[in-house]
Amino acid sequence: MSALHGFQTWQMFETRIILESHVAGLAAERGKEEHHAALAEEVAEMFASIESPSDYLIHDLTFHRIISQASANPILAAIIETITSALYDSRRKTVEHSTDLRESAEMHRELYRAIRAHKPQEAHNLMEQHLRMAQIAQGMERPSGRRGASSAAKKRLGRAVHAA
């Protein structure tokens, strides 16, 4: 975590979007049945813990760890672990204010299905959508003057996620 000290949360989130979307594609190509079973279990636990945001967060983080392990690239897995660990403390403090964990759980289920079905491009796209929506929901948008998406683009992204 000390290696990431001083960076803005949005910068770490942006890095996650870039890395984890590709890692999800690799997981769809390389994941084994043991990964699929573990992902299915975490999705079930997410749905079971919707009323307990702190428990939900643990299953969410575990889900993302399993995907990074399923990529069969330990370097990427270590980088993602470092970033998610750095974000955990801030997320632990804000997760209690989450309003739609059911939608998040549904997004995780769709991502799991794409990985299990060995659909790398779909897994890549779903992970990118998931993380962008999480970034918006958590209020971690880039500072003024550095915004990448307009309000209209965010609405389209929201509709795309609901359609996924």
**Domain assignment of residue 24, given as a range:** 2-163
| CATH (domain of 138) | 1.20.120.530
Tell me the one-letter amino acid at 145. Answer: G
**For residue 72, what are its two tokens?**
């069969």
pLDDT tens by residue, the chain, 164 residues: 445 666 777 888 889 999 999 999 999 999 999 999 999 999 999 999 999 998 999 999 999 999 999 999 999 999 999 888 877 777 777 777 676 789 999 999 999 999 999 999 999 999 999 999 888 877 743 444 444 444 444 443 443 333 33
Please give the pLDDT value at position 21.
Answer: 97
Between the alpha carbon of residue 159 and those of residues 100, 115, 153, 155, the distances in Å are 15, 22, 10, 6
CA distance 77 to 160: 28
Domains in the chain: how many in total?
1
Tokens 């299990």: give the residue.
116
CA distance 58 to 81: 13
Most distant pair of Cα atoms in the chain: their distance = 45
